[in-house]
A and B are shown apart, each in its own frame.
Chain A
Amino acid sequence: MHPIRKKRLTIVLFLLAGIGVAVALTTYALRQNINLFYDPSQIAAGEAPRDVRIRAGGMVEEGSVIRDPDSLKVEFRVTDFNSSVPVEYTGILPDLFAEGQGVVAMGKLDGQGRFVADQVLAKHDENYMPPEVADALEKASKAQPKAGETAQSPSY
């Protein structure tokens, strides 16, 4: 290669490497702020601030949803299979909200470690399947509950 071109190429590569390092360091420094939400383990470990608006994310624990019959108030627990956090919310839930589904709740932690949400968003995973396949899978996992659980756990 021509020496001038070689020099230009080196400059370009240095430029790229420099920007790459700068951005990597910045995102590393900001990594907590870039995370959209705290997971239940972080909240249980006291990493999340209290009385500040934060987001909590995880899976709605099976059998934990209690709907108030007179109002739109809902209580449920959000879990990451290590810890779980009780959540309280009043309002309309997204269509995808269900037990065993991923959610991101926005609100504040109160003094007793309860999460009072003012907005609940549904988070879904990258798995898509026809309803018949989902039914068949569910039947199979009921026959073998262990296998079904392990298949579900990483995908909230």
Chain B
Amino acid sequence: MWQFFHKLGSPKWFYGIATRLMPWLLVVGAALLLAGVVWGLAFAPKDYLQGNSYRIIFIHVPTAFLAQSVYIMMAVAAVVTLVWRMKLADVFVKAVAPVGLVLTFLALFTGAVWGKPTWGTWWIWDARLTSMLILLFLYGGVIALDRAINDEKSAARAVSVLVLVGVVNIPIIKYSVEWWNTLHQPATFKLTEKPSMPAEMWVPLLLSVLGLYFIFGWLACLRMQTEIIFREQRTRWVKDLVMAGRP
């Protein structure tokens, strides 16, 4: 167990695993996402109240869901950075923060465009929407803080602390719709109950959520590899890797 943990911390070992995993992540992710989106857009029945505007759910829920899970993963990595000083954990946080930023922006944007025809407004300062906006600023803050500090180790520590401080926002996002009166409706998927929609609606939604997860996995591997090459450029193995195929 501990040996595996230490191996996981080796950038060289991770680089090799990532190279082997990435084609699968991309193919499976693209297939699932495409299937979910096409099914949701063209084949799922329309909603009895909202008509066709509800079809935005097939990208709104996946991006919102991923935006939060990515932050939770970053928080776990931040604990590992602070306690075990594992290089890869820090590499992960830096590699995925921009991905989280884009996903959060997409969740907010699709939510706003969906809100206009259904609620009657693009934006409202209710608990769910505001806490999601805070998540966007947290991702932005993580990226900015990392850029602001030149020393790699200080940057890793400062970023980890910021990520951990921000993690309290996640339960607030999740439970905002239950703790307070909000305009936003409660969650469609709950772990304990069956989904509040028929199978011909929730199956495509689940497909696109899973697909986006795989795409995120691919992006994380790719961006971590970039960060590893940059940081380990003085090591023998990176030099061999970069110069491979060169005369």
Interface residues, chain A, with chain B CB atoms under 8 Å away: 5, 8-9, 11-12, 15-16, 19-20, 23, 27, 31, 34-37, 39, 57, 93-96, 101, 104, 119-135
Contacts and interface: CB of A to CB of B under 8 A. Distances in A.
Given A19-B168, A128-B196, A94 B118 contact: yes
A124 B161 contact: no
Contacts of B201: 128-130
B200 A5 contact: no
A36 B119 contact: no
Nearest to B202: A128
A12 B82 contact: yes
B188 A126 contact: yes
Nearest to B78: A12
B84 A5 contact: yes
DSSP class of B's interface residues: helix, strand, loop or mixed?
Answer: loop
A53 to B, nearest CB: 13
Interface in B41-95: 45-50, 54, 57, 79, 82-84
9 contacts: A15-B165, A35-B181, A37-B181, A122-B120, A124-B185, A125-B186, A130-B45, A130-B198, A133-B198
A133 B48 contact: yes
A27 B172 contact: yes
Given A23-B168, A131-B45, A124 B50 contact: yes
A124 B50 CA distance: 9
- Tell which of A104, A120, A135 has the most Cβ of chain B within 10 Å: A104
Given A36-B127, A128-B197, A57 B181 contact: yes
Nearest to B126: A36
A27 B187 CA distance: 21
Contacts of A96: 49-50, 118-120
Nearest to B128: A36
B124 interface: yes
Contacts of B168: 19-20, 23
B13 interface: no
B183 A9 contact: no
B49 A124 contact: yes
Contacts of B47: 128-131
Contacts of B54: 128
A135 B45 CA distance: 14
Nearest to B185: A126
B181 A126 contact: no
A36 B118 CA distance: 17
A90 B229 CA distance: 63
Given A36-B180, A129-B47, A130-B201, 10 more contacts: A15-B165, A20-B168, A23-B172, A35-B180, A57-B181, A94-B117, A96-B120, A123-B119, A124-B49, A125-B186
